[in-house]
Structure 1
Amino acid sequence: MGLLFRWLMRMTTALLVLIVLGLGLAYFLASQSLPDYDKDIALPGLSAPVEIVRDNANVPHIFGSFGASDEDVYFGLGYAHAQDRLWQMTMLRRTVQGRLSEVFGSRTVEIDSLLRRLDLYRLAQQSVSAQDPGTLAALTAYSAGVNARLGEINDSALGRGAPEMFVFNAPIAPWQPADSIAVMKLMALKLSGQLQDEVLRARTMLILDDPERLLDILPDSPGTGVAALPEYAQLFPGLKRYAETASIPQAAMSPFPPRGLAGASNVWAAARARSASAGTLLANDPHMGLSAPTLWYLARMELATGGVIGATLPGIPAVIVGRSDQLGWGVTSSYVDDQDIFIEKLNPENPEEYLTPNGYKRFTSRPSIIQIKDSQPITLILRWSENGPVLPGSLYGLSAVTPSGHVASLAWTALSDTDTSMSAAISLMRSQNVQDALVSGEHFIAPSQNLVLADQETIAMKTIGSVPQRNARNQSQGRLPNQGWRRENRWQGRSPYAANPQFVSPRGGILGNTNNKLLERPFPNHVSYNWGDTQRIHRWQKLMQTRQVHTRDSFIEAQLDTVSYTARSLLPLIGADLWFTSNAATEGTLARQQQTALSLLSEWNGEMNEHLPEPLIYMAWLRALQARLIVDELGPLASEFKHVEPLFIERVFRDVDGASAWCDIRQSAPKESCTDMARMALDDALVWINERYGSALESLRWGDAHQATHDHEVLGEVPLLRFFVNIRQSTSGGDNTLQRGLSSGEDPDPFQNVHSAGYRGVYDFSDPDSSVFITSTGQSGHFLSRFYDDMAQLWRRGEYIPMSLDVDLARAAAVGITRIQPLQK
């Protein structure tokens, strides 16, 4: 027995030693790719020395020496991006190329297939020649900087450049100018949501018995009504009135956003007359899906036109949002209707032909081979009509709205082979004043954005990006999939840039956008029917109007505001007949819990604070209420409405145009009232809370449910590793607060914060160097780096770091200075 015990001890000890050695080896190999920020190096591709000073937040400040050109500075940015975000850059490029399956196998084939069909990378390659000479030089120099880092990794055996490369080993091709343009097109895809809305509107039309109810569940933003549309079944007779399950690639690497999770943002500016310091102010926080690392990367470049500082995107040689000494710029998603689905009628005699206004025409087709790791390659036939690429029926449930003998194609402004958006971005960054910036915006194609500007004297807002020109006789007005063979439905080019909404130096001295409706114009000059916000704008207006003058700190306060206008407006409606009307109930019963919940909500001010119980009770109640209201009318389609639509709830409980009909359960004999539905939904919510968080309502914390999910797209699902690479944080805010944290809507954690402000910046032009910014994770994409998540807690607490162009300040606490000399041949 003793002998057996000794051998067991020896084997256990040996196993532990092997595990420790294995972990040590893994750490050693992974740490080899940690960049050295403090060094002198000679690299090819420079005309003069470049210095990269990394301040104490690891923000690179890139300077060229005497005789250096702007191209040398762009080289430095490419090198810095590749030091900190190489894996992220290669993933973005592989995604847009449709080449993920070469690394990840069959699980990403659907993503690759969809990207190949859109052909974004080929369009990016063709767009290179459309750039102006300065932009082409910047793209070339930036690529040289990235490739110089790749060469350094290979020559010095620097751990393959990123720890992920050990797990998913694949060759890295040299960076090219087309890659940067392709990354910008990929951002357009991530920020676009009109396609999903068109398909869902058609599917909802097909399943609703009463077409009058469509504007309840898919309401227009408040304003002048829209002219009546034809029923979708009238456009395409023979379609079945049912809803199939929609499908989009669910992998974390998918760039196809679920409905409601496309782009969003806040941006606002104050003129000098509305500023306490007599200098213009600007605040911006773009919202995108959260990830680790975040998509944003802070950087400063010293160009011939002056210093610029702000947020860049790895792969793109431009400050996308930020400031110079003279100008600040911020963006929000404009929600321009820049996508249309066309239903193409196939020739019954030849399915390779489709009907056009001039008769049948052959699709433009070509094969595309997808290489799949550990599997046989597959060959796709990519088909394009005159309207755009043909899409598979599985995408967003397209098959449910596509009749037999037809296929669906996509018209989208980003499908341009002369896309000059990169030239516009670099020109904007070099602009010296608002007028220069407005001129630069004309060349922007996609993604369409609301650009807000502030120089020393002027504030302005302009919608940039292509706006399709539609015929006034368009059958669906761009709101539904349309008959592609009818001339009046087809796009007629691009609307003039001058027709895009523009506001310069408004009388009130305040400009802003929360993705809300900008203006009311009749079709076809309407800009959009689908807007991203009808709620946050009310709270923003109140905060802006309650002060005669604003400061940097008041703009920060607004950016971090967590009071829900939606909660304040809806709770009195849905609880009107429930407050203080219940009978006495025994402790521990559901009836007693209902009393407690109503009591808490009746005294709540609507603040979605992470430490309070009321936000969780409110959100669970509203979610359960919407589910009860729609499930009998929409059946399986109800699962597509993952987020509470405040306008729908308001219409129902105010009985706008008979909307209270949603409250009656059609399958039951009694006629339920909206009060009945509110009471039953509250019980549903409390049962769910009890099962998930316990029965002590007063001790609930909204932040436990509303955790920000900064997850690594690839390693975030790997056991053990996920604890090192994922960043989870308790957060305040919610779906409709200015500090927006959009919930996932997906069980089992429907309130996880998955879409939020990955960047915040506030710029004060009375003292530009007092400006501040922050990102949601950190500068490094290397999970062993201390800069991987060092900004995460600052971001969660609503703190910022200085956004200064002061050279001495950057050097004073630098974590490293990299001096790059031209390599002498």
Structure 2
Amino acid sequence: MSLRLPLPNGWVRGVNNGAEMGTLFRWLLRLSLAGMAFILIGLIAVYYLASRSLPEYDADHRVAGLSAPVEIVRDNNNVPHIFGDSDADVFFGLGFAHAQDRLWQMTMMRRTAQGRLSELFGERTLKIDELLRRLDIYRLAQDSVAVQDPDTRAALEAYARGVNAWITTVNDQAKGRGAPEFFLFEPEVAYWQPADSLAIIKLMGLRLSAHLEQEVLRARLSLLLDEGRVRDLMPDAPGRGLIDLPDYASLAPGVQPSTAPLTRLAAGPLSPFPRRALAGASNAWAAAPGRAAAGGTLLANDPHMGFAAPGPWYLARLDLSTGAVIGGTIPGMPLVLAGRSDRLGWAVTSSYLDDQDVFLEQLNPDNPEEYRTPDGFKPFETRRTIIKVADAAPVTVTLRWTENGPVLPGTHYDLASVTPPGHVSTLGWTILSGADTSMSAALGIMRAQTVDAAIEAGRFFVAPSQNLTVVDQERIALQTIGAMPRRLAGHQSMGRMPVPGWRAENRWQGRLNYAANPRVIDPDSGILGNTNNKLVDRPFPLHVSYHWGDTQRIQRWRRLMESRKVHTRESFIEAQLDTVSFTARALLPLIGRDLWFTGEPAPAGSPERRRQQALDLLAEWNGEMNEHLPEPLIYAAWLRRLQDRLIRDDLGPLADEFTHVDPLFIERVFRNVDGASAWCDIRQSGPVESCTEIARRALDEALLWLDETYGGQLQSLRWGEAHQAWHDHPVLGETPFLKWVVNIRQPTSGGDNTLNRGLTRGSAPDPFTNVHGAGYRGVYDFADPESSVFIIATGQSGHPLSRHYDDLGELWRRGEYIPMTLDPDLARAAAVGITRLRPRRK
């Protein structure tokens, strides 16, 4: 007989609950595994689709538009060496190679120039599109095709055929739409046209121009401050000073002073309109044979532009009938913009030529569709354009032009703040020409065999103005190329502030003769160079500019050039990579002269002790902006806080426009030039503050910020941690997950005022991020041309899955270069892939 005892209450339920939990666990496990499998399959599919657009460089293609076979020989760094029977076929090959590696970048530049970003990105780019349409640069590029010389038109047409041959190949062979970005956005790509290449030159002009914003800012300061204090904040480069500049109130009655921050177009990586501090820079220098150790001319060049991934530069070699050329190209243009041939080397730097003027146009009170001219009221030229906007209704914009240029809304560039009631603002700009022969001039320079021939070719360059440094095997020269507006001596603001557009003395009278452009040929010193510094000391209107890009780097360059009787390729490389800040060496003894070694004993951990430690570090520092040192970060933070303390009480929110320290301003204040030490006194306080007191407070604030931001001991700070170069993808760079794939970020040396320039962002939250610098470097020695070296800041490919997306970036960061040969046998011997293009059978 068996005895069955009843189970305690809850035992059966517990067993059931356990079974249910086991079942739930198994289903959760199955769902998790299925989800992981689904994600894995999705990632594999994404990778497969994206990798389809990776070009195969060792391949044969039958293409339309060729007259004879072309070979694109690629070396281990993915630099294409392009060989063909005719120049047209070589330019075809360059277009094909550019499209293989940078199709998305090229189409985005074209779309930007056309004012069609909003078709992809919606309302966030509408303001950008609207301004591009008002400037009408794409239509002007279309008009300019007809004025190119026959060789240039042939090059443009052949290049376009090459781009289109790759687009056709992508479509015919299902090569992943040509770039992975096309899977996320509109996949349709219009065929390339010659006008597209001309539009990209004008787009570069937008990225290099800042005079419009300078004029608006100076006008606003003139309404707030007396002329002496305006000179402090926006000082002239050393040399002849400006005399008798009127107050802006006399030019624009009814405009009220304001300290409100400037309004501007939507910022961000998609905007081609930089802040004035980020509007172009560059270095170039040359040595004659008598100043070169090996007896041949030397040339170094590093043009500066905003960083991006991929960067704007692309290395290539072209085998032309006038001789092979090699160097830096811009995808979208059939041109080696900076480089060398066997006989000639050419370099470009921003000239800072004042090629923009803002005009105030008075409206007819009885008819707002008319504006005032010297001959009475005239109607605006008007045209309507429609901007398509993703996920929104199309926007119709009425374009209006006057004899001085296009009308710009007051919402752009903060023009409303300086435009009187009953007026509109227009822009005069040399780039707004439908007869722009800049491409013909640039190709002429590339094909030139001598210094004289290159200078003569530059005669036809219109915009954006550049300083052309050029050497042949015996001679060196520097020539400013680009149209100089002919202003009358009686111009009311000398081009520095907006002026009434109906007054004849303010209107441009065409262009100055090419002979008026600055030129230096075979200087007695045997050395010449440009760091965007002031070129000439001529009175207005032959002054070239009142706003220059550099007053500091040129001082360090002179020191390096004068330190040697003869130079070598290596000494030119050393100068190109130099990170010593002349500015730090000059300013620190000035602002800290009453602080060095004067502090009282202070307990450990106190602000006073930390200040003493910082001053001790800076006292022993040689000014080298090295990424591994703490002193550059302490110095940069101190100067940033100091300038803000000096101007904030006078300018209020408008102080945010001065994002970068102006060394001339700091020097004027601490030397009390023309009473500039008045900036040290805080208006709102009762006591009169001294400059030493302000410097001490600024240092304490900087140290507090450093402690809150980076923590640790001062000695453990590293400049490179704050001064990272951000090469971000303009479209995907802020996308979660993808940003880790497409962005390239590296700690770097250099700073705002070093020859190896790494211009900082300037604005919070990462004010010292490196966002603008040398995207291309080249050093050429004509005693041994094949020893010339090159580098770009990212990689040749614009495809994030390519090993060539960032492979050159680490070399660039370390200050290393790659060789590039003009010897066809060496190029073929080092080939890792040959793309053969053959005419398609009819």
State the TM-score, normalized to the length of structure 1. Answer: 0.99
Q: Work out whether 1:727 is the aligned partner of 2:747.
A: no
Equivalent position of 2:339 in the other structure? 322
* SS across alignment from 1:791: helix
Residue 813 of structure 1: how far off its partner (Å): 2.5
Displacement after TM superposition at 1:808 (Å): 2.2
Which of the numbers 792, 808, 816 marks the counterpart of 1:775? 792
Asked if the contact 2:728/2:744 (under 8 Å) is kept, the reply is yes
Q: Distance in 2 between matches of 1:34 and 1:673?
A: 63
C-alpha deviations, 1:356-376, integer Å up to 9, x for none?
101111110100100011110
Deviation at 1:468, TM superposition (A): 0.3
Q: Distance in 1 between matches of 2:425 and 2:440?
A: 32
1:33 counterpart = 2:53 = yes
Q: Which residue of 1 aligns with 2:780?
A: 763
Contact 2:177–2:187 (8 Å) recurs in 1: no
Q: Which aligned pairs between 1:431-446 and structure 2 lie closer than 5 A?
A: 431-446=448-463
Query: Any residues of structure 2 matched to 1:695-714 within 5 Å, and which?
Result: 695-714=712-731
CA-atom RMSD in angstroms: 0.7
What does residue 840 of structure 2 align with? Answer: 823
Q: Which residue of 2 aligns with 1:233?
A: 249
Contact kept, 8 Å, 2:752 with 2:760, in 1: the verdict is yes
Distance (whole Å) between structure 1 residues aligned to residue 608 and residue 439 of structure 2: 60
- State the 1:13 CA deviation: 0.6
1:430-469 to 2 correspondences below 5 Å: 430-469=447-486
Instruction: Look up the match of 1:14.
Output: 34
1:326-360: CA deviation from partner (whole Å, max 9, x where unpaired): 00000110000000000111111111111110111
8 Å contact 1:292–1:710 — kept in the other structure? yes
- Please tell me whether residue 493 in structure 1 is matched to residue 513 in structure 2: no
Matched to 2:170, the amino acid is: I
The CA distance in 2 between the partners of 1:434 and 1:786, in whole Å, is 39
CA distance in 2, matches of 1:87, 1:490: 41
1:375 aligned to 392, 405, 410, which one?
Answer: 392
Deviation string, structure 1 residues 363-396 (Cα, Å, up to 9, x no partner): 1010010001111000000011110011121222
Instruction: Give the corresponding residue for 1:211.
Output: 227
Deviations 1:16-47 (A, max 9, x none): 10110111100000000000000111100000
Partner of 1:81: 98
Per the alignment, residue 303 of structure 2 pairs with 286
Separation of aligned partners in 2, 1:472 and 1:298: 44
**C-alpha separation between the residues in 1 aligned to 2:714 and 2:826?**
49
Q: Would you say the 8 A contact 1:734–1:740 is kept in 2?
A: yes
CA shift, 1:245, in A, is 2.6
**How much does 1:304 deviate?**
0.3
- Give the counterpart letter for 2:25 in structure 1: F
| AA aligned opposite 2:59 | K
Name the CA distance, whole Å, in 1 between partners of 2:678 and 2:268.
38
**Distance in 1 (alpha carbons) for counterparts of 2:186 and 2:246:** 53
Residue type of the alignment partner of 1:783 = P
- 1:111 partnered with 2:131: no
The whole-number CA distance in structure 1 between the counterparts of 2:791 and 2:829 is 20
Maintained 8 Å contact 1:244/1:400: no
Structure 2 match to 1:565? 582
| 8 Å Cα contact 1:280-1:456 kept in structure 2 | yes
Could you tell me whether the CA contact under 8 Å between 1:204 and 1:637 is conserved in 2? no
Contact residue 284 and residue 330 of structure 1 kept, 8 A: yes
**Structure 1 residue 654 corresponds to structure 2 residue 674:** no
Matches within 5 A, 1:367-446: 367-446=384-463
Map of 1:798 onto structure 2:
815
Quote how far apart the aligned CAs of 1:804 are. Answer: 1.4
CA distance in structure 2 between the aligned counterparts of 1:303 and 1:804, rounded to whole angstroms: 15
Instruction: Supply the distance in 2 between the matched residues of 1:244 and 1:388 (Cα, whole angstroms).
Output: 28
CA–CA distance in 1 between the matches of 2:56 and 2:373? 59
Matched, 1:518 2:532: no
Which residue matches 2:176?
A: 159
| Matched residue SS, 2:383 | strand
Deviation digits for residues 465-498 of structure 1, max 9, x if unmatched? Answer: 0000000000000000111010110000000001
**Structure 1 residues 607-630: Cα deviation after superposition (integer angstroms, max 9, x where no partner):** 000000000000000000000000
Q: Which residue type is aligned with residue 236 of structure 1?
A: A
What's the CA shift for 1:815? 2.0
Larger Rg: 2
What is the distance in 1 between the residues matched to 2:363 and 2:593?
55
Q: Is the 1:206–1:243 contact (alpha carbons within 8 Å) kept by the matching residues of 2?
A: no
Cα deviation, residue 440, structure 1: 0.3
Conservation of the 8 A alpha-carbon contact between 1:319 and 1:429: yes
Structure 2 distance, partners of 1:783, 1:239, is 50
In 2, the alpha carbon distance for the partners of 1:178 and 1:677 equals 55
User: How far apart in 2 are the matches of 1:220 and 1:736?
Assistant: 17
Q: How many Å apart are 1:812 and its aligned residue?
A: 2.2
Amino acid of the structure 2 residue aligned with 1:815: V
Q: CA deviation at 1:589?
A: 1.5
Which 4+ runs in 1 deviate beyond 2 A? none
What code does the residue aligned with 2:252 have? Answer: F
User: Secondary structure at 1:690's aligned position in 2?
Assistant: helix
Summarize deviations over 1:509-546 as a string: whole Å, max 9, x none: 00100000011000111111100000000000000000
Secondary structure at the residue paired with 2:803?
Answer: coil
Work out the percentage of aligned pairs sharing the same amino acid: 67
Report SS of the residue matched to 2:617.
Answer: helix
1:568 Cα offset (Å): 0.2
> Cα distance, 1:211 vs. partner?
2.8
Q: CA deviation at 1:320?
A: 0.2
- Aligned 1:203-282 pairs, distance under 5 A: 203-208=220-225, 210-246=226-262, 247-282=264-299
CA contact (8 A) 1:103 1:170 kept: no
Partner-residue secondary structure (3-state), 1:715: coil
The number of equivalent residue pairs is 821
Shift in Å at residue 206 of structure 1?
1.2
Instruction: Name the counterpart of 1:690.
Output: 707
Aligned to 1:594, the other structure's residue is in SS state: helix
Mapped to 2, the partners of 1:107 and 1:480 lie a distance apart of 30
Query: Please, which of 361, 364, 377 is the counterpart of residue 347 of structure 1?
Result: 364
Q: How far apart in 2 are the matches of 1:138 and 1:185? A: 18
Is the Cα contact below 8 Å between 2:533 and 2:550 reproduced in 1?
yes
CA distance in structure 2 between the aligned counterparts of 1:671 and 1:216, rounded to whole angstroms: 20
For structure 1, list consecutive stretches of 5 or more residues without a partner in the other structure: none
Which of 53, 57, 68 does residue 73 from structure 2 map onto? 53
CA deviation string 1:372-425 (max 9, x = no partner): 111100000001111001112122211110111111100000001000000001
Compute the displacement of 1:212 (Å). Answer: 1.7
Residue identity matched to 1:31: S
Shift of 1:780: 0.1
Residue 135 of structure 1: how far off its partner (Å): 0.2
**1:608-623 equivalence runs, <5 A:** 608-623=625-640
Aligned to 2:6: none
Taking structure 2 as the reference length, the TM-score comes to 0.97
CA shift for structure 1 position 110: 0.8
Deviation of 1:683 after TM superposition, in Å, equals 0.7
The alpha carbon displacement at 1:149 in A equals 0.3
Amino acid at match of 1:235: L
Map Cα deviations across residues 722-758 of structure 1 (whole Å, 9 max, x no partner). 0000000000000000000000111000000000000
Residue type of the alignment partner of 1:504: I
Q: Which residue in the other structure is 1:174 paired with? A: 191
- Structure 2: distance between partners of 1:412 and 1:44: 40
Q: 1:311 aligns with which of 318, 328, 333?
A: 328
Tell me the SS of whatever aligns to 1:77: helix
CA distance in 1, matches of 2:260, 2:366: 28
Shift of 1:809: 2.0
| Structure 2 residue matching 1:717: 3-state secondary structure | coil
The answer to whether the Cα contact below 8 Å between 1:321 and 1:329 also exists between their aligned partners in 2 is yes
Letter in 2 for 1:425: A
1:105 Cα deviation (Å)?
1.1
Identify which of 761, 765, 771 aligns with 1:754. 771
Matched, 1:474 2:505: no
